Amino acid sequence: MKNGPTEGEKGIPRVSDERFAKEFGEVASLVEKHECMLILGHVDPDGDCIGSMLALAAYLMRRGKKVVCFTPGEMAEIYAELPLANLFVREAALAALAPDMVFALDAPTSARTADLVKRTDGKPVVNIDHHPTNERYGDINIIDEKASATSILVYRFLSSVAPESITPEMADYLYLGVLMDTGGFRFQNTNAEALAMAARFVELGARAHELAHEFIYVKKFSTLKLLSRALDSLEVHGGGKIAVMHISEEMITSAGGSMSDTEGFVDYAASIDDVELSALFRELASDEIRVSLRSRNDYNVAELAERYGGGGHRNAAGLTIHGDLATAKSQIVRSLEEMLALKVRPRQS
């Protein structure tokens, strides 16, 4: 059967689990055989990463497992307040832990986990992800680039092996993944499956309005002040088709706020009417610049990110450049201009 929507219970279309039936069964039997689980996410985790990790963590705990979660880098304050956020341990505590099974979620490459997926002493690694650039570093790889969020794949696993175990709290986490990775159901990955899954999660108890309010609508005063500085830095290139903006260390010092609270800032550059390609540059250290890329239509920013050692999806990708802000900006603007020049016209569908 093809991996498309099927008629689920209560008439809500849902995606067939058959494509990964074998993998899901293998993961379930590994879970039964092991006791201490480490769930890894990617550096500077976003809502999909964290939601996927905590939904899975809640399930594993219900199975009586000991669970810890770890992501390298910084977690935004809004996520640190989630009920299960206490499962996230600091790097120092990882060494004392002896997990006998490892999950890595929403992390396309070993590098995105600070190479922790490679340092597992032969313990089984389950890789669940939706990035087309996934390296398949796991012993079991559940990768579907058509899924709008990793949390949809976690749901497919849960609904395949233990459908009755999904609590309203888990539904909240699963919903958070779809909500954040579709930009509040606005991005090009807002497809029938994403919407059907969101409906399913609400049926299972997810609080759609509260989550949108807490994670998309409400902002700290300092975050908005920082946004105003970032917006001040907006420039357009390529005849108005490229928009770039930046956040320097100096802006954080003068406006307040924190780099980890800037998820979604790039969308302002991307929202300009004629813009097809956009970038946000964040100065993490004097020589480390995080670049977020966004595109419309067929422009593939994941390919560009990969050329710089990064990755992502066709319309949303990221990379890190070692160098100063001004150099990083002119380098990426040049690459974006080349992309524009190469593409006569994006396909209109």
Q: Interface with ligand AMP by CB under 6 A: which residues?
A: 42, 108-109, 112, 133, 292, 310-313, 316-320
Which is closer to ligand AMP, CB of 106 or CB of 193? 106
User: For the chain, what is the total number of helices (H) and then of strands (E)?
Assistant: 13, 13
Which is closer to Mn ion, CB of 194 or CB of 289? 194
Which is closer to Mn ion, CB of 124 or CB of 177? 177
Which is closer to ligand AMP, CB of 133 or CB of 159? 133
Smallest distance from the beta carbon of 155 to Mn ion, in angstroms?
A: 13
Residue 316 contact, options ligand AMP, Mn ion, none, Cβ 5-8 Å cut-off depending on partner type: ligand AMP
Residue 313 contact, options ligand AMP, Mn ion, none, Cβ 5-8 Å cut-off depending on partner type: ligand AMP
Smallest distance from the beta carbon of 324 to ligand AMP, in angstroms?
A: 19
Which is closer to Mn ion, CB of 49 or CB of 247? 49
Smallest distance from the beta carbon of 26 to Mn ion, in angstroms?
A: 23
Smallest distance from the beta carbon of 326 to ligand AMP, in angstroms?
A: 20
223: how many CB neighbours lie within 10 A of its CB? Answer: 21
Smallest distance from the beta carbon of 270 to ligand AMP, in angstroms?
A: 11
339 in helix, strand or coil? helix
Across the strands, what pairs with 289?
Answer: 283, 321
**To 5 degrees, how large is the angle CA 43–CA 151–CA 312?**
45
DSSP for residue 84? T
DSSP for residue 299? -
Residue 99 contact, options ligand AMP, Mn ion, none, Cβ 5-8 Å cut-off depending on partner type: none
Residue 310 contact, options Mn ion, ligand AMP, none, Cβ 5-8 Å cut-off depending on partner type: ligand AMP
Q: Which residues, in sequence order, are CB contacts of 34 under 8 Å at separation 6+?
A: 65, 100, 101, 124
Q: Which residues, in sequence order, are CB contacts of 232 under 8 Å at separation 6+?
A: none
Which is closer to ligand AMP, CB of 125 or CB of 166? 125
Which is closer to ligand AMP, CB of 14 or CB of 329? 329
Residue 257 contact, options ligand AMP, Mn ion, none, Cβ 5-8 Å cut-off depending on partner type: none
Smallest distance from the beta carbon of 232 to ligand AMP, in angstroms?
A: 20
CA atoms 126, 314, 211, 224: torsion sign: positive
Which is closer to Mn ion, CB of 148 or CB of 251? 148
Smallest distance from the beta carbon of 67 to ligand AMP, in angstroms?
A: 22
| 252 conformational bin, left if phi > 0, alpha if psi -120 to 50, beta if neither | alpha
Strands (E), the chain: 5-7, 13-15, 36-40, 66-70, 101-105, 125-129, 140-143, 235-237, 242-247, 277-285, 288-295, 311-312, 316-322
Which is closer to Mn ion, CB of 181 or CB of 241? 181
Nearest to 329 by CA among 296, 282, 269: 282
One-letter identity of residue 168: P
Residue 289 contact, options Mn ion, ligand AMP, none, Cβ 5-8 Å cut-off depending on partner type: none
- Two structure tokens written together for 295: 């595109």
Per-residue CA distances from 238 to 43, 103, 302, 337, 344 (Å)? 31, 42, 19, 6, 13
Residue 312 contact, options ligand AMP, Mn ion, none, Cβ 5-8 Å cut-off depending on partner type: ligand AMP
Smallest distance from the beta carbon of 302 to ligand AMP, in angstroms?
A: 7
Q: Which residues bind Mn ion (CB under 5 A)?
A: 46, 48-49, 106, 150, 181
Residue 276 contact, options ligand AMP, Mn ion, none, Cβ 5-8 Å cut-off depending on partner type: none
- Given a contact cutoff of 8 angstroms between Cβ atoms, the answer to whether 140 and 127 are in contact is yes
Smallest distance from the beta carbon of 129 to Mn ion, in angstroms?
A: 8
Residue 182 contact, options Mn ion, ligand AMP, none, Cβ 5-8 Å cut-off depending on partner type: none
